[in-house]
C-alpha cells in the first residue's frame, strides 16, 4: 500500500502542517510555497489530499482560499480545527529583540504583546518561513512569530510561548480531494455540507435561498460572500449547513436553490470535526 500524500502551504512547522498531522497522523506531508501551488498539486494528482485554512476565529475567512474553492475540481471531504498558539522565536544567544518577523495576520494577533515590549512588527510571507529566515540570515536583533513546532524543527530558542492577544484562537481547515469519498453515514455522527452559489442582484434573492434552508429547519453554520471579480459589487455566497447530501431535506433544499440561483456548486459533505 502506498503512503498517503498531503500538501499544505508554508514551510515545515506551519500551522497547516500541524493540522495535517492531527488529521493524517501517518501521511507524508509535503510543504508548498503558495495556496495556489497546493491546489494545483493536488488537482494534478501529485498528492492525495490538500489541507487548507478556511477560517480563523479571530481574523475571519481566508479570502484567497474562498476564491480558489470556487475554481477547484476537488471535493471537501473533511474538516479539522487547530489551536493557534504563537511563540516568539529567536536564534540562541540573541541580543535584545527589536524586530519580529511573521505573516501579517500573526503579527496582528500579537499586536498587544509587541507593543508592550517595544518590538517592531515586520511583515513576512509565512510564520515558519520567518523562523527559517532569521536563522539563515543570522539575525540576532530579530525574532519570528510561529509555532512551537517551527522552533523545534529549526532548532531555535523559544523566548515566550502563547504571545497571542486572545487565547480563543483557532483555525478551521478543510481537507480536499479529487476523489469524492463515498460516504458511509454513521448514525450518530454529525455532518456538514459546503456549497457556493451566486445570485442575480434582485431584492430578496438571498432571502429566498436562505428560506429553502430555514423552512426545512436546516441550520447554517457559516455564510460568506466574495466578489465575483467579473462584475464589481456582485457576489458569490459560500454557505455551510448542517447535514449531508444523503439527507432528504437537504437534497430537496439544494434542488430548489439550483433552480433559483444563476450558479451553484456543491463542494461536498463531510463529518463535523470536534472543536476543542
List phi, psi (to 5°) of 48: -80, -35
User: Considering only residues 1, 44, 136, 204, which one is a binding residue for a copy of itself as defined by CB under 8 A?
Assistant: 204
Print the binding letters for residues 70-109 with a copy of itself: x by CB under 8 A, - otherwise: ----------------------------------x---x-
Closest distance of CB 57 from a copy of itself, Å: 4
Which residues, listed in sequence order, are joined to residue 161 by a DSSP beta bridge? 87
Q: Which is nearer to a copy of itself, 5 or 83 (CB)?
A: 83
Q: Which residues pair with 79 in a beta bridge?
A: 174
Stretch that binds a copy of itself, among 4-12, 152-160, 178-186, 219-227 (CB under 8 A): 219-227
Report the half-sphere exposure of 92 (CA within 13 A, side-chain side).
Answer: 4
**Minimal CA–CA distance to 121: which of 77, 112, 129?**
112
For the question of residue 171 being annotated catalytic, the response is yes
Q: Is 210 in the site for a copy of itself (CB under 8 A)?
A: yes
One symbol per residue from 119 to 148: x for binding a copy of itself (CB under 8 A), - otherwise; what is it?
A: ----xxx-----------------------
Judged by CB under 8 A, which of 90, 97, 143, 218 binds a copy of itself? 218
Q: Which of 22, 41, 94, 225 binds a copy of itself (CB under 8 A)?
A: 225
Q: Which one of 224, 249, 264, 271 is in contact with a copy of itself (CB under 8 A)? A: 224
Q: How many CA atoms lie within 13 A of 219 on its CB side?
A: 6
CA quadruple 149, 153, 156, 158: dihedral, nearest 10: 10
Do you know the residue count of the chain?
276
* Residue 193 binds to a copy of itself (criterion: CB under 8 A): no
Stretch that binds a copy of itself, among 175-183, 189-197, 212-220, 245-253 (CB under 8 A): 212-220
Sequence-ordered alpha helix ranges (H) in 73-198: 104-109, 111-116, 127-136, 148-153
Find the distance separating the first CA and the last CA of the chain, reported in whole Å.
32
Under the binding rule (CB under 8 A), the answer on residue 223 touching a copy of itself is yes
249 alpha-carbon distance from chain centroid: 28
Of the CA atoms within 13 Å of residue 74, those in its CB half-sphere come to: 26
Q: Maximum CA pair distance of the chain?
A: 65
Taking the complex as a whole, how short is the minimal distance between the CB of residue 198 and a copy of itself, in angstroms? 14
Q: Which is nearer to a copy of itself, 47 or 65 (CB)?
A: 65
Q: How far is the CB of 224 from a copy of itself (least distance, A)?
A: 7
C-alpha cell at 234: 456582485
Question: Cβ–Cβ contacts within 10 Å for residue 37, how many?
Answer: 14
Q: List residues binding a copy of itself (CB under 8 A).
A: 55-60, 63-64, 104, 108, 123-125, 166, 168, 170, 172, 202-204, 206-208, 210-211, 213-214, 217-227, 229-233, 235, 275
Catalytic center residues: 171, 173
Amino acid at each position: 500500500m502506498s503512503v498517503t500524500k498531503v500538501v499544505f502551504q508554508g514551510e515545515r512547522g506551519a500551522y497547516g502542517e500541524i493540522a495535517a498531522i492531527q488529521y493524517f497522523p501517518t501521511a507524508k506531508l509535503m510543504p508548498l510555497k503558495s495556496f495556489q501551488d497546493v491546489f494545483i498539486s493536488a488537482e494534478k494528482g501529485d498528492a492525495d489530499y490538500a489541507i487548507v485554512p478556511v477560517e480563523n476565529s479571530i481574523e475571519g475567512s481566508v479570502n484567497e482560499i474562498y476564491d480558489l474553492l470556487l475554481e477547484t475540481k476537488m471535493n471537501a471531504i473533511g474538516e479539522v480545527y487547530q489551536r493557534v498558539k504563537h511563540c516568539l522565536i529567536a536564534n540562541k544567544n540573541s541580543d535584545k529583540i527589536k524586530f519580529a518577523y511573521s505573516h501579517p495576520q500573526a503579527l496582528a494577533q500579537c499586536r498587544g504583546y509587541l507593543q508592550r515590549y517595544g518590538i517592531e512588527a515586520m511583515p513576512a510571507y509565512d510564520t515558519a518561513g520567518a523562523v527559517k529566515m532569521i536563522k539563515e540570515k543570522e539575525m540576532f536583533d530579530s525574532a519570528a512569530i510561529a509555532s512551537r513546532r517551527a522552533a523545534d524543527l529549526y532548532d531555535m530558542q523559544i523566548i515566550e510561548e502563547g504571545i497571542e492577544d486572545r487565547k480563543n484562537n483557532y483555525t478551521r481547515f478543510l481537507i480536499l480531494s479529487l476523489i469524492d469519498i463515498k460516504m458511509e453515514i454513521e448514525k450518530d455522527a454529525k455532518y456538514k455540507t459546503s456549497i457556493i452559489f451566486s445570485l442575480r442582484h434582485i431584492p430578496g434573492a438571498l432571502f429566498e435561498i436562505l428560506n429553502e434552508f430555514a423552512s426545512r429547519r436546516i441550520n447554517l453554520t457559516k455564510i460568506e460572500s466574495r466578489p465575483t471579480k467579473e462584475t464589481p459589487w456582485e457576489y458569490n455566497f459560500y454557505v455551510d449547513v448542517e447535514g449531508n447530501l444523503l439527507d432528504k431535506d437537504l437534497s430537496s433544499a439544494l434542488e430548489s436553490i439550483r433552480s433559483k440561483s444563476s450558479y451553484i456548486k456543491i463542494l461536498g459533505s463531510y463529518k463535523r470535526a470536534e472543536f476543542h
